[in-house]
Amino acid sequence: HYFIQSNLSFHSSMSLQLLTLLSSFLLIKSKSVDNDEQSVTPVILIPGICGSQVDGWYRKETPHYYCSKDSKGWTSLWLCLECMVPLAINCWVDNIKLNISDVRNLKNVNGVQTRVNNFGQTDGIGYLDKHHFVVQYEKMIIDLEEMAGYKRGVNIRGAPYDFRYTPNTKQGKEFLIKLKFLIEETYYINDENKVLLVAHSMGNPYLVNFLLTMDQAWKDKYIDGYVAIAGVFGGAAKAVRSIISGETEGLPETIVSPEKMREFERSAPTVYWLMPPPSLWGDTPILFTATRNYTASQYQDLFVDSETPKGGELYDYAREAPLFAEDIGVDVYCVHGVGSETPYQFRYNDKGFPDSMPVTTTSDGDGTVNRQSLELCKEFKRLKDYKTISGFLSTHLEILQREDVAKYIVNLLKVKNLELRKKQGYRL
């Protein structure tokens, strides 16, 4: 059959995944690793929102006559560059948006199946698109190969996930289980060496949630440390604009309609999750209209006034997962950009709310995440180092392309690998 049935129960699908992972885990654990090259601290990379390639397979009715009803196999949903053009984007939104009829049982719209590619490998996070036009972690992966002699799939591994879902959803919990097995697997295929976790953007609060679920003995055994790059620990004001008016993520508004993107963004709980919390933003207004202002404590009113369907329920559900916690039981190294104009407050004219783009006031940050959110990284109980970057390639996405960020991780690994070899009795 072309279409994979979507009505398999959660428990049966999870049992199959766990059996597959357990079989792989047992086989790997039984191997004897004698190669000196593998006696290094392995790295697992965790991407942020919109940071993993997602495929779709659909057979369904469409709202537009020009949209295909049958993909006839797996096709790229994110990032699909050819979908980001007039007309085609209408079809794309209808395939990637979530069914929000039951907020606590979020899923794809009827007739659509999705998957995340190459879990454990780097293919699905190096580039955001299949054509390799939009780079993400690839530059850092190459730097780790060239500067430190690391190998993809062995001691550089990736943990892509469906970024539409928060950690407390069924899909998010499945990812956290897979991440646990990936860490353990990576530990055993690398001579039982602890793993260094590297996360970017929303991957950081996702990782916080994961670490909060693991007991300290497990973390002490498997985790060597955690590098937080551009962590959105206190939300980002930009997420409010995404929900209210839509966000094109840098694509020209003459080609991609913010209103059309909003239809997808309003269905994704992760966008609500990243709205600035009242605990950090306080009474500072975030959004202004002709009739009133809204603070982070007044989102429920904002959802009603902007006619955001299920907005209040999605926000409440998403925020059941914390963005930040001081004590996560591992050593933390923070890196983020500063000095870039970052969306902070949004002002709508008399007739522009919510269906036009507001006038945006900026504050300091990395161009996407506001500084006060980034700086929460200082509050980790086991903070080992804190580094800020400004100037060229210091914005939220560009920071992954900076050679000095890669060198920072390489130097950290060199120290850890030296300690590792001393402990294991290697001749230096």
Task: Please confirm, yes or no, whether 396 is among the known catalytic residues.
Answer: yes
DSSP, collapsed to helix, strand or coil, labels residue 363 as strand
For every one of its 428 residues, what pLDDT tens digit does the chain have, with 9 covering 90 and above?
333 333 333 344 445 455 445 544 444 443 434 444 548 999 999 999 999 999 999 999 988 999 999 999 999 999 999 999 889 999 999 999 999 999 999 999 999 999 998 999 999 999 999 999 999 999 999 999 999 999 999 999 999 999 999 999 999 999 999 999 999 999 999 999 999 999 999 999 999 999 999 999 999 999 999 999 999 999 999 999 999 999 987 677 777 889 999 999 999 999 999 999 999 999 999 999 999 999 999 999 999 999 999 999 999 999 999 999 999 999 999 999 999 999 999 999 988 899 999 999 999 999 999 999 999 999 999 999 999 999 999 999 999 999 999 999 999 999 999 988 888 775 44
Instruction: Supply the DSSP symbol for 354.
Output: T
141-175 pLDDT per residue, tens: 999 999 999 999 999 999 999 999 999 999 999 99
Task: Please confirm, yes or no, whether 1 is among the known catalytic residues.
Answer: no
Spatial CA neighbour of 210 closest among 318, 48, 322: 322
Active-site residue identified among 191, 366, 373, 394: 366
Active-site residue identified among 201, 242, 340, 373: 201
379-395 pLDDT per residue, tens: 999 999 999 999 999 99
Task: Please confirm, yes or no, whether 11 is among the known catalytic residues.
Answer: no
pTM of the predicted structure, to 2 decimals: 0.91
Residue 10: its pLDDT value, please? 37
Long-range contacts of 407-414 (CB under 8 A, 24+ apart): 407/143, 407/147, 408/335, 409/43, 409/140, 409/144, 409/196, 409/198, 409/227, 410/143, 410/144, 410/147, 410/148, 412/196, 412/225, 412/227, 412/333, 413/40, 413/41, 413/43, 413/148, 413/196, 414/148
Residue 426: its pLDDT value, please? 57
DSSP, collapsed to helix, strand or coil, labels residue 217 as helix
d(CA 344, CA 285): 10
Angle (nearest 5°) at CA 374 between 106 and 322: 35
Active-site residue identified among 76, 162, 245, 396: 396
Contact 300, 312 (CB under 8 A): yes
